[in-house]
């Protein structure tokens, strides 16, 4: 039987501890590595921002004619609604013809 604290019990714990407690790089090389990593992230974010702005401009260009057409339809509807507001029988007869 294995007793607590024997060599076989300590070996798996040591392997697990090595992967968890692996020190991260420090000093000048770590700072340079962080600089390159952050620079790369900044480039990616800048490109994503540029693509997003391009998409926004494209959607505005596509939407502009539709909005103008809808505004024209609303104006036409308002004009037709004003013309239909006649309570005079003679005027209604003329509108029907």
Please state, rounded to an integer, the average pLDDT across all residues of the chain.
80
Q: In this structure, how many other beta carbons lie within 10 angstroms of the beta carbon of residue 5?
A: 7
Q: Are 29 and 35 in contact (CB under 8 A)?
A: no
Please report the pLDDT score of residue 79 as a whole number: 87
- Is residue 89 predicted with pLDDT exceeding 60? yes
If one compares 1 and 68, the residue with the highest pLDDT of the two is 68
If one compares 88 and 36, the residue with the highest pLDDT of the two is 36
Please report the pLDDT score of residue 81 as a whole number: 81
If one compares 2 and 33, the residue with the highest pLDDT of the two is 33
């Amino acid at each position: 039987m294995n007793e607590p604290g024997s060599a076989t019990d300590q070996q798996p714990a040591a392997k697990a501890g090595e992967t968890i407690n692996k020190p991260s790089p420090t000093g000048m090389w770590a700072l340079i590595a962080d600089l390159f990593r952050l620079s790369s992230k900044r480039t990616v974010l800048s490109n994503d921002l540029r693509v997003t702005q391009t998409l926004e401009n494209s959607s505005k260009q596509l939407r502009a004619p539709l909005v103008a057409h809808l505004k024209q339809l609303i104006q036409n509807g308002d004009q037709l609604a004003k013309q239909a507001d006649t309570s005079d029988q003679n005027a209604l007869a003329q509108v029907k013809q």
